[in-house]
């Protein structure tokens, strides 16, 4: 097993920026990738998700420009600096990586924020296309940078909404709100319980190391393609299910009434399977929240495994590689395992006692070799801080990691927000006020 997060020194990113653009950047920002602990394909059904941030991070050195020019460079992509005109940004006009950062500029401007250009150099340790949200890390790091540089004073959850809009409209990928919110709002040592309907959120303590457990991420190296095909079909099927059941979104189908709802779907077998996954998955998120909050961390293992069965059998978005990780890890002593992310490849997560980590890792690697699959990448996921930065010119560039964790601590004080992006004054709700949504029985109505 390797620690793949790597450390990106802010100073290195700033130096490369200077080589490219001939001047020091105004600052350096960071935003992480994420793993979703539980709550898969619930986000576009107005349901619950529970991601946590990875130590894997996109880091961007950025300077403000006043002349309408946007220059973009990634050290992870060949092709040099790409220069764009902010006035000419058009949704779905760009099929390259630059669509993600340019989309954020477009979304900010479309929302009325006067962003007049930027020079950007970035690099990332979030593996692309592995289901760990490298795209959201990219969007969020740019959004945080522009928010600071243009003094927009937007909150993390508001920036997340704009990044989602960038990806939905500018890039043209119909993703939910989870990835961007996770990258923007997660805090170290916690998973983020997010209600994707009203964006209220709660930080749930998730410190596995303290309890002698580890969470492994197994990247199958099988690439998924989010913006096309199967994802869109599942999403359309969920919308059809909601329409047939007469609800705004599948989140409104109470768990206690699931059987009756399924019966009403008649011969719509495929829709029935999708509905069953979404409704049971929301209930699993609530169960995991309740278990973690009552200190029964080990007991979340079987809930994760149940989630995998539902994704494999009902939602049908697993693949042989993901199933092999889950089956092998469980046979080798894992407490629980499931695929995570959009599906059809990407990564699985495995919850295990520390003592079993090496055995499980070896078993998975051997099983992949025996099956003739590409060797998986296995690494430990430590719940890490969300986006941060703004190290300024003249500052000690080596200070970024500390800056990032300080921002994580600050964010804890704002750990529940609710409201709409269009609101002038988003509602700030105290943790105690929000409370935990009622568990199961469909009583989580609002
Ligand atoms: P995921 O978000 O699960 O990693 P996506 O398909 O949503 O997968 O996003 C991956 C895309 O994001 C890449 O194809 C690339 O366009 C862009 N991307 C991710 N990381 C980088 C990077 N370091 N530099 C440039 N583009 C990147
Ligand atoms: Mg993505």
Closest CA to ligand 1's atom 11? 135
| Residue 139, domain CATH | 3.30.230.10
387, 373: one domain: no
Residue nearest atom 8 in ligand 1 by C-alpha distance: 129
Kindly give the distance from the C-alpha atom of residue 407 to the centroid of ligand 2, in angstroms, as a whole number. 24
Q: Is the C-beta atom of 75 inside 6 A of ligand 1?
A: no
Phi, psi of 77 (to 5 degrees): -130, 140
Question: pLDDT value at position 6?
Answer: 59
Provide the pairing of β-strand 69-74 with 118-124. Answer: parallel
CA count, 13 A, side-chain hemisphere, 399? 14
* Options 179, 195, 356, 415, the catalytic residue: 179
pLDDT digits (tens, 9 = 90+) for 139-198: 999 999 999 999 999 999 999 999 999 999 999 988 889 999 999 999 999 999 999 999
- Cα of 166 from ligand 1 centre, angstroms: 14
Both 171 and 216 in one domain: the answer is no
Q: Do 57 and 133 reside in the same domain of the chain? A: yes
**Are 282 and 424 in a shared domain?**
no
- Report the residue among 81, 97, 164 best suited for mutation to probe ligand 1: largest number of ligand atoms under 8 A from its CB: 97
Please state the pTM of the whole predicted model.
0.86
Average pLDDT over residues 422-431: 31
Nearest CA owner, ligand 1 atom 15: 97
The pLDDT assigned to 152 comes to 94
Q: How far is the CA of 330 from the centre of ligand 1 (A)?
A: 30
Ligand nearest to the CA of 36: 1
CATH of the domain at 276: 3.30.70.890
Note if 219 is an active site residue. Answer: no
Report d(CA 3, CA 19) in Å as an integer.
29
What single string gives the DSSP state of each residue in 8-56? --HHHHHHHHHHHHSS--SEEEEEEEEEESS--S-GGGT-EE-EEEEEE
Task: Please identify, among 380, 398, 415, the residue that sits at the C-terminal boundary of a domain.
Answer: 380
**pLDDT beyond 70 at 365:** yes
Q: What range does the domain containing 223 cover?
A: 208-380
Same domain, 19 and 103: yes
Identify the band that residue 19 occupies on the pLDDT scale cut at 50, 70 and 90: very high
Residue 144 within a domain: yes
Q: Looking at the predicted structure, is the pLDDT value of residue 67 above 80?
A: yes
Q: Report how many domains make up the chain.
A: 2
Residues 175 and 149 in one domain: yes
Lowest-confidence region among 31-40, 161-170, 329-338, 395-404 = 395-404
Question: Mean of the pLDDT values across residues 134-140?
Answer: 97
Is 367 found in the same domain as 230? yes
Question: Quick one: which of 182, 205, 251, 202 has its CA closest to 433?
Answer: 202
Nearest ligand to the C-alpha atom of residue 225 = 1
Answer yes or no: is the C-beta of 99 below 6 A from any ligand 1 atom: no
Tell whether 176 and 117 lie within a shared domain: yes
Whether residue 216 sits in one domain with residue 161: no
């Amino acid at each position: 097993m390797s620690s793949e997060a790597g450390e990106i020194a802010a100073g290195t990113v700033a130096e490369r920026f200077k080589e490219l653009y001939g001047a020091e950047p105004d600052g350096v920002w960071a935003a992480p990738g994420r793993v979703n602990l539980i709550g898969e394909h619930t986000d576009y059904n107005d349901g619950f998700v529970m991601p946590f941030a990875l130590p894997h991070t996109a880091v961007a050195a950025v300077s403000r420009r006043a002349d309408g020019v946007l220059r973009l460079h990634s050290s992870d992509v060949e092709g040099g600096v790409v220069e764009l005109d902010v006035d000419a940004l058009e949704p779905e006009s760009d099929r390259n990586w630059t669509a993600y950062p340019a989309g954020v500029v477009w979304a900010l401007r479309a929302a009325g924020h006067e962003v007049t250009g930027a020079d950007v150099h970035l690099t990332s340790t979030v593996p692309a296309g592995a289901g760990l949200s490298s795209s959201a890390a990219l969007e969020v790091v740019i959004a945080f940078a522009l928010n600071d540089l243009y003094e927009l004073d937007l909150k993390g959850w508001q920036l997340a909404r704009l990044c989602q809009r960038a990806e939905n409209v500018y890039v043209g990928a119909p993703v939910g709100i989870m990835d961007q919110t996770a990258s923007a709002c997660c805090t170290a040592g916690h998973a983020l319980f997010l209600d994707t309907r009203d964006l209220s959120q709660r930080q749930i303590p998730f410190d596995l190391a303290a309890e002698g457990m580890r969470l492994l991420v197994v990247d199958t190296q099988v690439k998924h393609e989010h913006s096309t095909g199967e994802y869109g079909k599942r999403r359309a099927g969920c919308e059809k299910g909601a329409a047939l059941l007469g609800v705004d979104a599948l989140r409104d189908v109470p768990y206690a009434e699931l059987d009756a709802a399924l019966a009403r779907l008649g011969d719509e077998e495929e829709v029935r399977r999708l509905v069953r996954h979404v409704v049971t998955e929301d209930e699993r998120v609530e169960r995991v929240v309740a278990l973690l909050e009552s200190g029964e961390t080990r007991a979340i293992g079987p809930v994760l495994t149940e989630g995998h069965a539902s994704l494999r059998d009902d939602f049908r978005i697993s693949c042989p590689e993901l199933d092999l990780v889950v089956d092998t890890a469980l046979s080798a002593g894992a407490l629980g395992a499931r695929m995570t992310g959009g599906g059809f490849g990407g990564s699985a997560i495995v919850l295990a006692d520390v003592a079993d980590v090496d055995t499980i890792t070896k078993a998975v690697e051997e099983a992949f070799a025996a099956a003739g699959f590409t060797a998986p990448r296995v690494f430990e996921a430590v719940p890490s801080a969300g986006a941060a930065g703004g190290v300024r010119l003249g500052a000690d560039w080596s200070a970024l990691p500390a800056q990032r964790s300080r921002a994580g601590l600050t964010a804890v004080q704002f750990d529940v927000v609710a409201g709409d992006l269009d609101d002038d004054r988003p509602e700030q709700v105290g943790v105690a006020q929000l409370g935990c949504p009622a568990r199961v029985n469909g009583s989580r109505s609002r």
